[in-house]
Amino acid sequence: MADIRYTSAKKIYASYGVDTEAAIGTLSAVPVSVHCWQGDDVIGFDGSDSLSGGIQTTGNYPGRARTPEELFADIAEAMRLMPGTKRLNLHASYAFLGADKGKVDRDGYTYEYFKPWVEFAKGLGLDGIDFNPTFFGHPKMKDGLTLSSPDEETRRFWVEHGRRSLEIAAELGKAFGKPCLVNIWIPDGFKDVPADRLGPRLRLKRSLDEMLEGYDKQWVVPAVESKVFGIGLESYTVGSNEFYQNYAASRGICCLLDNGHYHPLEYVSDKIPALLAFYDTVALHVTRGVRWDSDHVVLFEDELKEIAKEIVRNDALSKVKIGLDYFDASINRISAWVTGQRAMQKALLYALLLPHAKMKELQDEGNFTELMYLQEEAKLLPMEDVWAEYLARTGCPDRYYDEIVRYESKILKERK
Ligand code: RNT
Ligand code: ZN
Protein backbone atom coordinates (compact mmCIF):
# COMPACT_ATOMS: atom_id res chain seq x y z
CA MET A 1 0.00 0.00 0.00
CA ALA A 2 2.70 2.47 1.04
CA ASP A 3 4.61 1.52 -2.09
CA ILE A 4 1.67 2.20 -4.35
CA ARG A 5 1.06 5.52 -2.67
CA TYR A 6 4.68 6.61 -2.97
CA THR A 7 4.88 5.56 -6.62
CA SER A 8 1.77 7.54 -7.38
CA ALA A 9 2.97 10.60 -5.45
CA LYS A 10 6.31 10.43 -7.25
CA LYS A 11 4.48 10.64 -10.58
CA ILE A 12 2.29 13.51 -9.50
CA TYR A 13 5.28 15.52 -8.29
CA ALA A 14 7.20 14.67 -11.46
CA SER A 15 4.40 16.22 -13.48
CA TYR A 16 5.25 19.50 -11.71
CA GLY A 17 8.94 18.98 -12.40
CA VAL A 18 9.72 17.91 -8.82
CA ASP A 19 11.98 14.94 -8.07
CA THR A 20 10.84 13.24 -4.84
CA GLU A 21 13.93 11.04 -4.68
CA ALA A 22 16.17 14.09 -4.68
CA ALA A 23 13.99 15.69 -1.99
CA ILE A 24 14.26 12.64 0.27
CA GLY A 25 18.01 12.44 -0.27
CA THR A 26 18.54 16.11 0.54
CA LEU A 27 16.27 16.06 3.57
CA SER A 28 18.03 13.14 5.18
CA ALA A 29 21.35 15.01 5.06
CA VAL A 30 20.28 18.41 6.46
CA PRO A 31 21.52 18.71 10.05
CA VAL A 32 19.02 19.96 12.59
CA SER A 33 20.47 20.86 15.96
CA VAL A 34 18.26 19.47 18.71
CA HIS A 35 18.30 21.40 21.98
CA CYS A 36 19.11 19.41 25.11
CA TRP A 37 16.97 21.69 27.30
CA GLN A 38 13.48 20.46 26.40
CA GLY A 39 13.93 17.43 28.66
CA ASP A 40 14.48 19.15 32.01
CA ASP A 41 12.74 22.51 31.63
CA VAL A 42 16.05 24.35 31.02
CA ILE A 43 17.40 23.68 34.51
CA GLY A 44 20.80 22.09 33.77
CA PHE A 45 23.16 20.18 36.04
CA ASP A 46 25.24 22.89 37.62
CA GLY A 47 23.25 23.87 40.64
CA SER A 48 20.30 25.98 39.60
CA ASP A 49 16.88 24.70 40.55
CA SER A 50 14.80 27.31 38.78
CA LEU A 51 14.88 29.28 35.58
CA SER A 52 15.71 32.98 35.62
CA GLY A 53 16.72 35.60 33.07
CA GLY A 54 13.42 36.54 31.51
CA ILE A 55 12.57 33.06 30.21
CA GLN A 56 10.07 30.63 31.63
CA THR A 57 8.75 27.13 31.21
CA THR A 58 5.14 26.56 32.09
CA GLY A 59 3.41 23.35 33.13
CA ASN A 60 4.20 20.54 35.51
CA TYR A 61 3.64 17.38 33.53
CA PRO A 62 5.27 14.51 35.41
CA GLY A 63 8.51 12.89 34.24
CA ARG A 64 11.00 15.76 34.02
CA ALA A 65 14.57 14.47 33.68
CA ARG A 66 16.17 15.23 37.06
CA THR A 67 19.62 13.76 36.57
CA PRO A 68 22.15 13.52 33.75
CA GLU A 69 21.33 9.81 33.42
CA GLU A 70 17.64 10.55 33.00
CA LEU A 71 18.32 13.28 30.48
CA PHE A 72 20.60 10.98 28.47
CA ALA A 73 17.95 8.29 28.42
CA ASP A 74 15.24 10.74 27.35
CA ILE A 75 17.36 12.30 24.62
CA ALA A 76 18.23 8.86 23.29
CA GLU A 77 14.57 7.89 23.24
CA ALA A 78 13.49 11.16 21.61
CA MET A 79 16.21 10.96 18.98
CA ARG A 80 15.24 7.41 18.11
CA LEU A 81 11.91 8.85 17.01
CA MET A 82 13.39 11.78 15.08
CA PRO A 83 14.20 11.18 11.43
CA GLY A 84 17.17 12.75 9.65
CA THR A 85 20.60 14.08 10.53
CA LYS A 86 20.80 15.43 14.06
CA ARG A 87 23.20 17.50 16.09
CA LEU A 88 22.93 18.09 19.81
CA ASN A 89 22.67 21.65 21.09
CA LEU A 90 24.17 21.91 24.57
CA HIS A 91 24.15 24.64 27.18
CA ALA A 92 27.15 25.15 29.44
CA SER A 93 24.87 24.62 32.45
CA TYR A 94 24.77 20.93 31.46
CA ALA A 95 28.39 20.40 32.56
CA PHE A 96 29.26 17.13 34.29
CA LEU A 97 31.05 18.61 37.28
CA GLY A 98 31.33 15.41 39.32
CA ALA A 99 33.39 15.94 42.47
CA ASP A 100 34.06 19.55 41.40
CA LYS A 101 30.41 20.51 41.88
CA GLY A 102 30.27 23.53 44.16
CA LYS A 103 34.01 24.10 43.75
CA VAL A 104 34.24 25.25 40.17
CA ASP A 105 32.06 27.99 38.76
CA ARG A 106 31.10 28.80 35.18
CA ASP A 107 34.24 30.89 34.72
CA GLY A 108 36.25 27.73 35.29
CA TYR A 109 34.54 25.24 32.99
CA THR A 110 36.70 23.19 30.66
CA TYR A 111 36.16 20.61 27.95
CA GLU A 112 36.68 17.83 30.54
CA TYR A 113 33.23 18.50 31.97
CA PHE A 114 31.60 17.91 28.61
CA LYS A 115 33.37 14.75 27.53
CA PRO A 116 30.47 12.50 28.60
CA TRP A 117 28.29 14.42 26.16
CA VAL A 118 30.74 13.77 23.34
CA GLU A 119 30.76 10.05 24.02
CA PHE A 120 26.99 10.04 24.28
CA ALA A 121 26.50 11.97 21.03
CA LYS A 122 28.95 9.74 19.21
CA GLY A 123 27.13 6.70 20.49
CA LEU A 124 23.94 8.03 18.97
CA GLY A 125 25.68 8.68 15.67
CA LEU A 126 25.05 12.42 15.80
CA ASP A 127 26.59 14.86 13.35
CA GLY A 128 28.11 17.00 16.10
CA ILE A 129 27.49 19.20 19.12
CA ASP A 130 26.68 22.91 19.21
CA PHE A 131 27.32 24.96 22.31
CA ASN A 132 25.88 27.85 24.32
CA PRO A 133 27.44 29.73 27.18
CA THR A 134 24.77 29.96 29.89
CA PHE A 135 24.25 33.55 30.98
CA PHE A 136 21.15 32.85 33.06
CA GLY A 137 19.95 30.78 36.03
CA HIS A 138 22.94 31.82 38.10
CA PRO A 139 23.57 34.00 41.20
CA LYS A 140 26.26 36.04 39.46
CA MET A 141 23.65 37.81 37.33
CA LYS A 142 23.64 41.19 39.02
CA ASP A 143 20.49 43.32 38.83
CA GLY A 144 19.48 41.30 35.77
CA LEU A 145 22.78 42.00 33.98
CA THR A 146 25.72 39.85 32.87
CA LEU A 147 28.03 40.99 30.06
CA SER A 148 26.61 44.51 30.22
CA SER A 149 26.94 44.90 33.98
CA PRO A 150 28.49 48.12 35.31
CA ASP A 151 29.97 46.00 38.09
CA GLU A 152 33.40 45.09 36.76
CA GLU A 153 33.71 41.85 38.72
CA THR A 154 30.37 40.63 37.40
CA ARG A 155 31.19 41.63 33.86
CA ARG A 156 34.58 39.93 33.97
CA PHE A 157 33.09 36.73 35.40
CA TRP A 158 30.74 36.45 32.43
CA VAL A 159 33.40 37.39 29.89
CA GLU A 160 35.49 34.57 31.29
CA HIS A 161 32.55 32.20 31.06
CA GLY A 162 32.16 33.17 27.42
CA ARG A 163 35.87 32.66 26.70
CA ARG A 164 35.77 29.24 28.34
CA SER A 165 32.72 28.34 26.30
CA LEU A 166 34.48 29.22 23.07
CA GLU A 167 37.43 27.05 24.09
CA ILE A 168 35.14 24.14 24.92
CA ALA A 169 33.41 24.63 21.58
CA ALA A 170 36.70 24.38 19.70
CA GLU A 171 37.27 20.95 21.28
CA LEU A 172 33.71 19.91 20.47
CA GLY A 173 34.25 20.95 16.87
CA LYS A 174 37.47 18.97 16.64
CA ALA A 175 35.91 15.92 18.28
CA PHE A 176 33.39 15.63 15.43
CA GLY A 177 35.48 17.18 12.67
CA LYS A 178 32.74 19.78 12.12
CA PRO A 179 32.60 23.40 13.32
CA CYS A 180 30.63 24.05 16.48
CA LEU A 181 28.07 26.87 16.51
CA VAL A 182 28.32 28.91 19.68
CA ASN A 183 25.26 30.99 20.30
CA ILE A 184 25.52 33.96 22.61
CA TRP A 185 22.27 35.00 24.21
CA ILE A 186 22.16 37.12 27.34
CA PRO A 187 19.04 38.11 29.26
CA ASP A 188 20.33 41.60 30.16
CA GLY A 189 17.64 44.24 30.34
CA PHE A 190 15.42 46.36 32.56
CA LYS A 191 11.90 46.01 33.78
CA ASP A 192 11.28 49.72 33.76
CA VAL A 193 12.30 52.87 31.94
CA PRO A 194 16.11 53.00 31.88
CA ALA A 195 18.18 56.06 32.72
CA ASP A 196 20.90 54.98 30.30
CA ARG A 197 20.35 52.91 27.18
CA LEU A 198 23.75 53.42 25.58
CA GLY A 199 26.02 52.57 28.51
CA PRO A 200 24.95 48.92 28.81
CA ARG A 201 25.29 48.44 25.06
CA LEU A 202 28.80 49.86 25.02
CA ARG A 203 29.73 47.52 27.86
CA LEU A 204 28.19 44.57 26.01
CA LYS A 205 30.18 45.51 22.91
CA ARG A 206 33.39 45.60 24.92
CA SER A 207 32.59 42.32 26.65
CA LEU A 208 31.89 40.56 23.36
CA ASP A 209 35.12 41.88 21.89
CA GLU A 210 37.05 40.57 24.88
CA MET A 211 35.26 37.23 24.73
CA LEU A 212 35.86 36.71 21.05
CA GLU A 213 39.53 37.66 21.10
CA GLY A 214 41.52 34.82 19.59
CA TYR A 215 38.74 32.24 19.29
CA ASP A 216 39.40 29.26 17.06
CA LYS A 217 38.11 30.30 13.64
CA GLN A 218 38.49 26.84 12.18
CA TRP A 219 36.26 25.02 14.64
CA VAL A 220 34.01 27.67 16.12
CA VAL A 221 31.21 29.70 14.53
CA PRO A 222 30.06 32.38 17.00
CA ALA A 223 26.56 33.80 16.71
CA VAL A 224 24.64 36.49 18.58
CA GLU A 225 20.92 36.23 19.35
CA SER A 226 18.80 39.32 19.87
CA LYS A 227 15.36 39.66 21.37
CA VAL A 228 12.70 42.23 22.07
CA PHE A 229 11.98 41.67 25.74
CA GLY A 230 11.99 39.13 28.53
CA ILE A 231 9.58 38.42 31.35
CA GLY A 232 10.27 40.98 34.07
CA LEU A 233 12.55 42.81 31.62
CA GLU A 234 9.89 44.41 29.49
CA SER A 235 11.20 47.94 29.00
CA TYR A 236 14.67 47.47 27.60
CA THR A 237 16.86 44.72 26.16
CA VAL A 238 20.56 45.43 25.84
CA GLY A 239 21.06 42.85 23.05
CA SER A 240 18.51 44.21 20.62
CA ASN A 241 18.24 43.32 16.94
CA GLU A 242 19.96 46.48 15.67
CA PHE A 243 22.73 46.12 18.22
CA TYR A 244 23.57 42.55 17.25
CA GLN A 245 23.17 42.92 13.50
CA ASN A 246 25.67 45.72 13.51
CA TYR A 247 27.91 43.88 15.92
CA ALA A 248 27.91 40.71 13.83
CA ALA A 249 28.46 42.55 10.55
CA SER A 250 31.33 44.61 11.91
CA ARG A 251 33.04 41.65 13.59
CA GLY A 252 32.55 39.05 10.87
CA ILE A 253 30.47 36.72 13.01
CA CYS A 254 26.96 35.48 12.51
CA CYS A 255 23.45 36.49 13.58
CA LEU A 256 21.08 34.00 15.12
CA LEU A 257 17.40 34.65 14.44
CA ASP A 258 14.97 33.22 16.97
CA ASN A 259 11.49 33.49 15.49
CA GLY A 260 10.00 34.19 18.92
CA HIS A 261 12.19 37.26 19.31
CA TYR A 262 10.53 39.83 17.09
CA HIS A 263 7.37 41.88 17.08
CA PRO A 264 4.44 39.66 16.14
CA LEU A 265 4.09 41.04 12.63
CA GLU A 266 7.77 40.72 11.79
CA TYR A 267 8.70 37.46 10.11
CA VAL A 268 11.96 35.60 10.36
CA SER A 269 11.18 34.02 6.99
CA ASP A 270 11.63 37.49 5.50
CA LYS A 271 14.76 38.22 7.52
CA ILE A 272 16.59 35.11 6.29
CA PRO A 273 16.98 36.31 2.67
CA ALA A 274 17.76 39.83 3.90
CA LEU A 275 20.70 38.47 5.86
CA LEU A 276 21.71 36.01 3.13
CA ALA A 277 22.36 39.03 0.94
CA PHE A 278 25.22 39.93 3.29
CA TYR A 279 26.23 36.91 5.36
CA ASP A 280 27.62 33.46 4.48
CA THR A 281 26.08 31.95 7.58
CA VAL A 282 22.80 32.61 9.33
CA ALA A 283 21.72 30.66 12.41
CA LEU A 284 18.18 29.97 13.52
CA HIS A 285 16.35 29.14 16.70
CA VAL A 286 13.13 27.65 15.51
CA THR A 287 10.38 28.05 18.05
CA ARG A 288 6.70 29.01 18.21
CA GLY A 289 5.60 32.07 20.10
CA VAL A 290 1.97 32.25 21.09
CA ARG A 291 1.15 35.88 21.94
CA TRP A 292 4.65 36.33 23.36
CA ASP A 293 8.01 34.55 23.18
CA SER A 294 6.39 31.54 24.80
CA ASP A 295 8.57 28.85 23.22
CA HIS A 296 5.64 26.57 22.40
CA VAL A 297 6.41 23.31 20.60
CA VAL A 298 7.15 23.92 16.92
CA LEU A 299 4.28 22.84 14.65
CA PHE A 300 3.91 22.41 10.90
CA GLU A 301 2.46 25.86 10.34
CA ASP A 302 2.58 28.55 7.67
CA GLU A 303 5.49 30.57 9.05
CA LEU A 304 7.56 27.42 9.54
CA LYS A 305 6.88 26.50 5.91
CA GLU A 306 7.93 29.99 4.82
CA ILE A 307 11.14 29.70 6.82
CA ALA A 308 11.91 26.35 5.18
CA LYS A 309 11.09 27.75 1.74
CA GLU A 310 13.57 30.59 2.19
CA ILE A 311 16.29 28.15 3.14
CA VAL A 312 15.60 25.69 0.34
CA ARG A 313 14.86 27.97 -2.60
CA ASN A 314 17.86 30.19 -1.93
CA ASP A 315 20.16 27.19 -1.99
CA ALA A 316 21.02 27.98 1.59
CA LEU A 317 20.80 24.56 3.23
CA SER A 318 24.49 24.69 4.06
CA LYS A 319 24.45 28.39 5.00
CA VAL A 320 21.54 28.38 7.43
CA LYS A 321 22.23 26.52 10.66
CA ILE A 322 18.92 25.18 11.88
CA GLY A 323 18.52 24.79 15.64
CA LEU A 324 15.41 24.13 17.70
CA ASP A 325 14.51 26.16 20.78
CA TYR A 326 11.26 25.41 22.59
CA PHE A 327 10.37 24.10 26.01
CA ASP A 328 7.00 22.81 27.03
CA ALA A 329 6.50 21.35 30.49
CA SER A 330 2.74 20.90 30.15
CA ILE A 331 2.80 17.74 28.02
CA ASN A 332 4.98 14.66 27.71
CA ARG A 333 8.39 16.25 27.16
CA ILE A 334 9.65 13.59 24.80
CA SER A 335 6.60 13.92 22.63
CA ALA A 336 7.13 17.70 22.64
CA TRP A 337 10.71 17.20 21.46
CA VAL A 338 9.79 14.77 18.70
CA THR A 339 6.76 16.67 17.49
CA GLY A 340 8.79 19.85 17.07
CA GLN A 341 11.70 18.16 15.32
CA ARG A 342 9.33 16.34 12.97
CA ALA A 343 7.52 19.59 12.22
CA MET A 344 10.86 21.09 11.14
CA GLN A 345 11.56 18.06 8.97
CA LYS A 346 8.10 18.22 7.44
CA ALA A 347 8.54 21.89 6.63
CA LEU A 348 11.86 21.19 4.94
CA LEU A 349 10.30 18.36 2.96
CA TYR A 350 7.38 20.59 2.00
CA ALA A 351 9.83 23.19 0.72
CA LEU A 352 11.95 20.61 -1.08
CA LEU A 353 8.86 19.41 -2.94
CA LEU A 354 7.91 22.77 -4.45
CA PRO A 355 8.62 23.72 -8.07
CA HIS A 356 10.74 26.71 -7.12
CA ALA A 357 12.36 27.31 -10.51
CA LYS A 358 8.99 27.54 -12.18
CA MET A 359 7.61 29.82 -9.47
CA LYS A 360 10.54 32.21 -9.67
CA GLU A 361 10.14 32.33 -13.42
CA LEU A 362 6.48 33.26 -13.05
CA GLN A 363 7.39 36.01 -10.59
CA ASP A 364 10.07 37.42 -12.86
CA GLU A 365 7.71 37.34 -15.86
CA GLY A 366 5.15 39.21 -13.81
CA ASN A 367 2.68 36.35 -14.20
CA PHE A 368 1.22 36.65 -10.73
CA THR A 369 -2.05 35.00 -11.73
CA GLU A 370 -0.42 31.69 -12.59
CA LEU A 371 1.94 32.03 -9.63
CA MET A 372 -0.99 32.25 -7.24
CA TYR A 373 -2.70 29.31 -8.97
CA LEU A 374 0.43 27.16 -8.72
CA GLN A 375 1.13 28.10 -5.10
CA GLU A 376 -2.39 27.00 -4.20
CA GLU A 377 -2.15 23.77 -6.19
CA ALA A 378 1.12 22.91 -4.49
CA LYS A 379 -0.50 23.01 -1.07
CA LEU A 380 -2.55 19.88 -1.75
CA LEU A 381 0.08 17.73 -3.44
CA PRO A 382 0.49 14.32 -1.72
CA MET A 383 3.38 15.15 0.57
CA GLU A 384 2.14 12.69 3.16
CA ASP A 385 3.08 9.78 0.92
CA VAL A 386 6.60 11.10 0.44
CA TRP A 387 6.87 11.69 4.20
CA ALA A 388 5.81 8.11 4.91
CA GLU A 389 8.39 6.83 2.45
CA TYR A 390 11.07 9.02 4.07
CA LEU A 391 10.22 7.69 7.54
CA ALA A 392 10.28 4.11 6.30
CA ARG A 393 13.74 4.63 4.78
CA THR A 394 15.13 6.24 7.94
CA GLY A 395 13.67 3.44 10.04
CA CYS A 396 11.66 5.80 12.22
CA PRO A 397 8.24 4.63 13.35
CA ASP A 398 5.40 6.34 11.54
CA ARG A 399 2.95 6.55 14.43
CA TYR A 400 5.28 7.53 17.24
CA TYR A 401 2.58 8.15 19.83
CA ASP A 402 2.53 4.47 20.80
CA GLU A 403 6.25 4.66 21.56
CA ILE A 404 5.69 7.75 23.70
CA VAL A 405 3.04 5.97 25.75
CA ARG A 406 5.25 2.91 26.21
CA TYR A 407 8.21 4.97 27.45
CA GLU A 408 6.00 7.05 29.70
CA SER A 409 4.44 4.04 31.40
CA LYS A 410 7.75 2.21 31.76
CA ILE A 411 10.23 4.98 32.54
CA LEU A 412 8.64 8.38 33.23
CA LYS A 413 5.99 7.02 35.59
CA GLU A 414 8.74 5.89 37.96
CA ARG A 415 9.99 9.47 38.43
CA LYS A 416 8.15 10.72 41.47
C1 RNT B 1 15.81 33.03 25.20
C2 RNT B 1 16.55 32.57 24.00
C3 RNT B 1 17.59 31.52 24.24
C4 RNT B 1 17.16 30.43 25.16
C5 RNT B 1 18.09 29.22 25.18
C6 RNT B 1 17.80 28.32 26.34
O7 RNT B 1 14.79 33.90 24.92
O8 RNT B 1 15.64 32.13 23.03
O9 RNT B 1 18.02 31.03 23.03
O10 RNT B 1 15.88 29.97 24.84
O11 RNT B 1 19.38 29.61 25.14
ZN1 ZN C 1 16.52 31.24 21.30
Annotation marks residue 41 as catalytic: no
Atom of ligand 1 at shortest distance to CA of 227? 7
Whether 272 is covered by a domain: the verdict is yes
Which of 41, 70, 77, 293 does the annotation list as catalytic? 293
Distance CA 102, CA 107 (A): 13
From 181, 329, 347, select the one nearest 255 (Cα to Cα).
181
Annotation marks residue 225 as catalytic: yes
Q: Is the CB of 37 under 6 A from ligand 1?
A: yes
Distance CA 189, CA 198 (A): 12
CATH classification at residue 344: 3.20.20.150
| Full domain range(s) for residue 127 | 31-352
Whether 139 is covered by a domain: the verdict is yes
Annotation marks residue 358 as catalytic: no
Whether 376 is covered by a domain: the verdict is no
Collapsing DSSP to helix, strand or coil, 324 comes out as strand
Nearest ligand to the C-alpha atom of residue 237: 1
Whether 178 is covered by a domain: the verdict is yes
Whether 231 is covered by a domain: the verdict is yes
Collapsing DSSP to helix, strand or coil, 234 comes out as coil
Q: Is the CB of 288 under 6 A from ligand 1?
A: no
Are 297 and 270 contacting, i.e. CB atoms less than 8 angstroms apart?
Answer: no
325 CA from centroid of ligand 2 (Å) = 5
Whether 415 is covered by a domain: the verdict is no
Cα angle, residue 230 at apex, residues 228 and 235 outer, rounded to 5°: 70
Annotation marks residue 402 as catalytic: no
Whether 164 is covered by a domain: the verdict is yes
Residues 6 or more apart from 52 whose CB is under 8 A from it? 136, 137, 138, 141, 187
DSSP string of 78-93?
A: HHHT--S-EEEEEEGG
Which of 41, 130, 225, 389 does the annotation list as catalytic? 225
Whether 61 is covered by a domain: the verdict is yes
Tens-of-pLDDT digits for all 416 residues of the chain? 778 999 999 999 999 999 999 999 999 999 999 999 999 999 999 988 888 899 999 999 999 999 999 999 999 999 999 999 999 999 999 999 999 999 999 999 999 999 999 999 999 999 999 999 999 999 999 999 999 999 999 999 999 999 999 999 999 999 999 999 999 999 999 999 999 999 999 999 999 999 999 999 999 999 999 999 999 999 999 999 999 999 999 999 999 999 999 999 999 999 999 999 999 999 999 999 999 999 999 999 999 999 999 999 999 999 999 999 999 999 999 999 999 999 999 999 999 999 999 999 999 999 999 999 999 999 999 999 999 999 999 999 999 999 999 999 999 999 98
Distance CA 223, CA 241 (A): 13
Which residue's C-alpha comes closest to atom 2 of ligand 1? 185
Which of 70, 188, 295, 310 does the annotation list as catalytic? 295
Distance CA 4, CA 14 (A): 15
**Residue 265's pLDDT is what?**
93
Nearest ligand to the C-alpha atom of residue 189: 1
Q: Is the CB of 225 under 6 A from ligand 1?
A: yes
Which ranges in 317-413 belong to alpha helices (H)? Answer: 333-352, 356-365, 368-379, 383-394, 401-410
**Residue 50's pLDDT is what?**
84
Distance CA 31, CA 211 (A): 27
Total number of domains in the chain: 1
Cα angle, residue 330 at apex, residues 95 and 268 outer, rounded to 5°: 75
